[in-house]
């Protein structure tokens, strides 16, 4: 009993340290490293790729530190598939606060669809701007921007639930990922994320520490061919998007 209490207290201290380092790292990247890239590298594409690789490397360091200190354990099955993905959408469920961190840590140059509100966050706003992530505030430009990024070979990471899953509630997803996939005619790759404990979810603060060390498991799943939905719906984008969205919901409910 005493050993368990000591272990839990240690993980609480390390959790506080991890998130302090995470916030500090975001500020340092934004204020120092990304500004240095802006001064030294004139080519926008090269600067964007270096910024994204820097973010991925910092996430790997964060996860390793969290693992070494016992805050969490994690495993990614199929990381090579994600690293090699080009010009497609990666669609995942969203159970915890660090789902993006887990995926971006193994996807060095991924793009990501993010909420516009995050641009005002002092810890991640600069990171989002430097990485040139796709922001969902401008609906009229979203498809055009998505098409341009997918054509240049970007992989677009999307969490179709829009926000973190509420435990024990029915899953619902937005149609954005399906619309982009259909109208840009791009395949999708499914990814499932699971955590053994209730941690960093919608109903618990970041400093909540479960009784046992949480185990994160990320599994790269099947690739969904967009041609099947476009052909089946006789080239009608709206019908194809609705059919694809239903299919995505069914798949995510099964694998999560």
- Tens of pLDDT, residue by residue over 73-120, are 999 999 999 999 999 999 999 999 999 999 999 999 999 999 888 888
Q: Is the pLDDT of residue 125 over 90?
A: no
- Determine the Cα–Cα distance for residues 97 and 80; give it in Å rounded to an integer: 23
Please list, residue by residue across 80-113, b when 16 or more beta carbons sit within 10 angstroms of its beta carbon and e when fewer do.
eebeebeebbbbbbbbbbbbbbbbbbbbbbbbbb
- The mean pLDDT of 7-29, rounded to a whole number, is 92
- The mean pLDDT of 150-166, rounded to a whole number, is 92
Give the rounded percent of residues in the chain with a pLDDT score beyond 70. 98
pLDDT band at 247 (very low <50, low <70, confident <90, very high): very high
pLDDT of residue 195: 94
Average pLDDT, the chain: 91
- Determine the Cα–Cα distance for residues 102 and 59; give it in Å rounded to an integer: 8
pLDDT band at 199 (very low <50, low <70, confident <90, very high): confident
Q: Is the pLDDT of residue 138 over 70?
A: no
pLDDT of residue 111: 95
Lowest average pLDDT, out of 66-70, 83-87, 136-140, 226-230, goes to: 136-140
- Determine the Cα–Cα distance for residues 248 and 178; give it in Å rounded to an integer: 8
Q: In 3D, which of 248, 232, 235 has the Cα closest to residue 178?
A: 248
pLDDT band at 31 (very low <50, low <70, confident <90, very high): confident
- The mean pLDDT of 223-247, rounded to a whole number, is 89
- Determine the Cα–Cα distance for residues 64 and 72; give it in Å rounded to an integer: 9
pLDDT of residue 139: 66
Q: Is the pLDDT of residue 148 over 90?
A: yes
Instruction: Spell out the domain ranges in the chain.
Output: 2-255
Give the rounded percent of residues in the chain with a pLDDT score beyond 90. 66
| Architecture of the domain spanning 2-255 | 3-Layer(aba) Sandwich (3.40)
- The answer to whether the CB of 235 falls within 8 A of the CB of 209 is no
- The mean pLDDT of 167-192, rounded to a whole number, is 92
Lowest average pLDDT, out of 8-22, 91-105, 114-128, goes to: 114-128
């Amino acid at each position: 009993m005493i050993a368990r209490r000591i272990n839990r207290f240690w993980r609480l201290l390390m959790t506080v340290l991890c998130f302090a380092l995470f916030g500090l790292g975001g500020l340092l990247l934004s204020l120092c490293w990304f500004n240095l890239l802006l001064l030294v590298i004139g080519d926008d594409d090269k600067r964007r790729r270096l910024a994204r690789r820097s973010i991925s490397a910092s996430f790997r360091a964060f996860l390793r530190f969290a693992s070494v200190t016992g805050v969490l354990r994690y495993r990614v099955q199929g990381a090579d598939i994600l690293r090699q993905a080009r010009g497609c959408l990666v669609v995942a469920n969203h159970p915890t606060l660090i789902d993006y961190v887990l995926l971006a840590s193994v996807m060095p140059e991924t793009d990501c669809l993010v909420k516009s509100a995050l641009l005002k966050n002092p810890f991640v706003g600069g990171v989002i701007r430097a990485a040139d992530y796709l922001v969902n505030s401008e609906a009229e430009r979203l498809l055009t921007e998505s098409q341009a990024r997918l054509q240049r070979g970007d992989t677009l990471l999307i969490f179709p639930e829009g926000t973190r899953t509420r435990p024990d509630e029915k899953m619902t997803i937005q149609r954005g990922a399906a619309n982009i996939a259909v109208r840009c005619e791009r395949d999708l790759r499914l990814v499932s994320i699971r955590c053994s404990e209730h941690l960093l979810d919608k109903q618990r603060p970041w400093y909540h520490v479960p009784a046992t060390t949480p185990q994160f498991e990320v599994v790269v799943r099947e690739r969904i061919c967009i041609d099947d939905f476009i052909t089946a719906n006789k080239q009608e984008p709206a019908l194809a998007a609705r059919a694809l969205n239903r299919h995505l919901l069914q798949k995510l409910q099964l694998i999560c």
